[in-house]
Each structure stands twice: as structure tokens, then as C-alpha cells.
Structure 1
Amino acid sequence: MAIFGRSQKKVFRPSLYESRRRTRRLPRWFVLLLVGIVLGAGGVLILQASYGPKRLTVSESQKLTDELATTTHERRQLQADLEEVERARETENAQATQTTQELQARVDELEIRLKPLQDEIKLLTRAISAGMKFDPIGIAAASFEPVNNKDIVKYQVLLLQENEKKPSYDGRIEVTFEGVYPNGRAGAVKALVVPFTLDHYEQLNGDVEMPKGFKPSRATLRVYQAQGDKALTYRTYNIANK
């Protein structure tokens, strides 16, 4: 037997009865990472449950959705109403502008037609006032006409102020009628007092009622200041009874 022999390698031969297996462990850092994630998620859930906003239930969420839809619909309706009002206002403004323009055109036309008439009136008043006496008001003309079968006299009086640039004059006229009563007795009746404001000329007209059966034959017209007692001027007119 040789002292130095060959070294023989041991060959691994699995046994049919051997059940032990070699297991691989997870790295420690990975285990710590998982634990941290779990703890963090749990903490977030706890904080949300304790201090976070309250979560809505399904019915509350549906109610909120319905209210939002209703509010949106009302806003759209109000917007539509507002637009309708705006359109109506624009239409009214356009119509008002058109009406104003039409009225202004009519006013301009009337002014054009009125100018010759005003010139004619100025010429007429100058002709009438020629030779008149102004104190400071003049009586240009007057007429008194009884109404048939009635105790009424219609009157017309034209007063003039000498200068059309003078300020307005406040005064009054008083008319005294002379005539006879049904019994034949003569008499006088002051039956008419009319206040006036005179610029350049003023026409006064109307009806005056006489005493029953009184037949006027003459009228005396006097002009006074508004608060005066002294007549500024007067004229007498005959009255023809029909």
C-alpha cells in the first residue's frame, strides 16, 4: 500500500430521505421599506379620518349634484332673461329715437310754416297800433255781440303793448254794460272782470251772462293794473241787439 495515494473528491449524492432545503432571505432594507410604506399609509388614513374633510355619502353627493344642476339651469335662465331685456331695451331705444326724429322733423316744418305767419302778425299789429294811445296798454279792438233769446253776450278784446321787447304786463279788464231792463228802466251792470298777462299782444274772448231780460246797448271797457284801482285807458262800444 502506497503511503501517498490519490485524493478522491467526494461526490454529492442526494438522499431520497433528505428534506432540508436552503432558503433565501429578503434583504433587510426591503423589509424596512415595506414596513415604512404600510405605516405611512396607515397614518395618512388615520389623519384623514380624524382631521380631514368629511367624506360625502352617496345620497349627499347626489343631492349636491342635483343642486349644482338646478343652480346652473337657473343661471342660464336668468342670463336668457337678461339678454331678452337688453334686446327689448335696444328696440325701445331705437323706436324712441325714431319717434324723436319724426317729432323734430314736424317741429322744424311747423317752424318754417309759422315764420311767415309771425311776420304777418307783426305787420298787422303795427298797422293796428298806428295812432293808438298807450298808457302803457292800448285797446286795439273789441266787439260785443248778444246771443239770440239768451241773456248772454259774446266778447272779443285785443290788447297791445307798444314795444314787443318790454317785459310782460299783468293787468285786468273790466266791462260795464249799459241798457234797459224788461220793465223799461235804464241801468248799468259791471258784469265782466278778466285778468290778463300781456307780452306784445293778447286776445281775450268768452261769454258773459247778463241779468235776466237785460238788453245791453253799450259797453265801456277799462284796463287796470293787476292790483290798481285807477283805469289806465278805456273805450266805449255800441252793442247792436238782434
Structure 2
Amino acid sequence: MFGRSKPVVFDPYGSRASRRLIPNWLWLLLFGATIGAGALFYVQQKLMPPRLSAEESSQLRKDFDSARQESSRLTAELAQANHKLDEALAKHDRLSAELTASHRDLARQRDNVEGLLAALPPDPRGGIVEIRAARFKVGGDTLGYDVVFSRAGAQGPPFAGVLQLVVAGKTAGGTETTIALEPADVKVGQYEIAHGSMPMRDGFVPRQVTIRVLDRLGGKLFGMRVINMN
């Protein structure tokens, strides 16, 4: 009624031998590690740059530190240069604003002068160069002058000539005489205001001044006016 039983084999060393066998997964792990190590060695020796020695590594570190210091120095110089550039731009803007303001003031002054010239009486004698007004002041043995000239419809370059003052008056001894003072260069565009002073004889008392404008000393007369001194 019971089935056929199997025989039992007694092997006292079999189980011990089976425990001594290395499993396949361990072989695969050892084989993979060997292959990986060989591949790493090949890559390091053949494909990657050669490894540096201790001395080369130290020199490379020094070069890196030197380059970093140089970079810091250049960065500081760049910041300083940018600061100077900002200051120069600010100064340029300030000077530009001042120049613009000066141009406005100059234009306003020109308008004022032109308005004053328009209010001055015309030169009775006319002429190419008109003598619109004159003022004289005696200071010791010199005669100071302020003379206003104008040229109607002035075109082209300014008129360049000489201004000569011929003064009538009395000498220190009371003798009536006329003296011609040293000429002065003058240029007249649309208008010109000449200022200056000329020496006279000691003790001479001027009474009347004749203003002459010539193209050169002793040359052609372009304007003349007689002014009595008070």
C-alpha cells in the first residue's frame, strides 16, 4: 500500500565539497573589477594627459596663484580706470553745460550790444566805417579812448586798418596846437568797440579830437568824426 522508497546515499564529504565551490556571481564580479581596472589604467596611460609630478604640481599651483593675483590687480586697475572715466565724463558734461550757458550769455550780450548800437545816433559824415560814438579821458600825459564803430551791411572779412587820433589843444605854455597821436590797429566787422590809451606831450590839454580810420597809415580815409571834449 506504500510506494517504493528511494535509497539514501551516505556521503560524508559531499556537502563540504559543495560548500567550497565559488559561486558564479562572484566570478563575474571579480572579472568585471579586473576589466574595469584595466580599462581605467589604459585610459589614464593612453588617453588622459600625463600625470604631473609633485614638483610640477607645486609649480602649477604657484602659476595659478600668480595668475589669480595678476587677475586681481587687473580688476583693481580696471575699476580705477572706470572711476577716472566716470569723472572725466562728468567733467565733460559740466564743461558742456557751462559752454552752453556761456553761448547763451554771449548771444544775450550780442543782442544787447546790437540794441545799444541801434539806439546810437548815426555818424553825421557816413562813410564805409561809421564812428557812432566816442569817449575820451585824460590821465596825466595819456589820452584814454572808447570808440564805437559799425559797418552797415558788412560782408566778408572784417575791415582791417588803423585808427589815428589828431588832438587839438593847448601846450603847457598855453599855445594852441594840433598833435597826431600814435596810430593803433583796428578791425571792424559789423561793429567794434575799441578801447585803449595813447601818450601825449607833458602838460598838453586836449580840446578837440579828430578820429580817422584809414586802410593804412597815410592811406585812404574810410571814416572820420570830430569830437569836442568837455
TM-score bin, normalised by smaller chain: 0.5 to 0.7
AA in 2 matched with 1:162? A
Matching residue within 157, 172, 188 for 1:167: 157
User: What corresponds to 2:94 in structure 1?
Assistant: 102
TM-score in terms of structure 1 length? 0.61
CA distance in 1, matches of 2:206, 2:128: 29
Structure 2 unpaired stretches of 5+:
1-54
- From the superposition, tell whether residues 168 and 236 of structure 1 become closer, same or farther in structure 2 (CA, over 3 Å): same
AA in 2 matched with 1:217? R
Secondary structure of residue in 2 paired with 1:192? coil
TM-score in terms of structure 2 length? 0.63
The question of whether the paired residues in 1 share the 8 Å contact of 2:123 and 2:225 is answered with no
CA distance in 2, matches of 1:110, 1:89: 31
CA distance in 1, matches of 2:178, 2:158: 32
- Equivalent residues in 2 for 1:78-157, closer than 5 Å: 78-128=70-120, 130=122, 133-147=125-139, 150-157=140-147
Bigger mean CA offset, 88-97 vs 112-121: 112-121
CA shift, 1:209, in A, is 1.9
CA shift, 1:112, in A, is 3.9
AA in 1 matched with 2:203? G
Larger radius of gyration: 1
- From the superposition, tell whether residues 80 and 112 of structure 1 become closer, same or farther in structure 2 (CA, over 3 Å): same
For 1:52-80, what per-residue CA distance to the aligned partner results, in whole angstroms no more than 9, with x for missing partners?
xxxxxxxxx79xx77994x7666555544
User: What corresponds to 2:196 in structure 1?
Assistant: 206
For 1:91-117, what per-residue CA distance to the aligned partner results, in whole angstroms no more than 9, with x for missing partners?
121111112212222333344444444
For 1:96-149, what per-residue CA distance to the aligned partner results, in whole angstroms no more than 9, with x for missing partners?
1112212222333344444444333323323336465543111111111112xx
For 1:203-240, what per-residue CA distance to the aligned partner results, in whole angstroms no more than 9, with x for missing partners?
11122222222222221110011476122221122223
The question of whether the paired residues in 2 share the 8 Å contact of 1:163 and 1:200 is answered with yes
The question of whether the paired residues in 2 share the 8 Å contact of 1:179 and 1:217 is answered with yes
Matching residue within 200, 213, 236 for 2:226: 236
Structure 1 unpaired stretches of 5+:
1-60
Secondary structure of residue in 1 paired with 2:120? helix
1:186 paired to 2:164: no
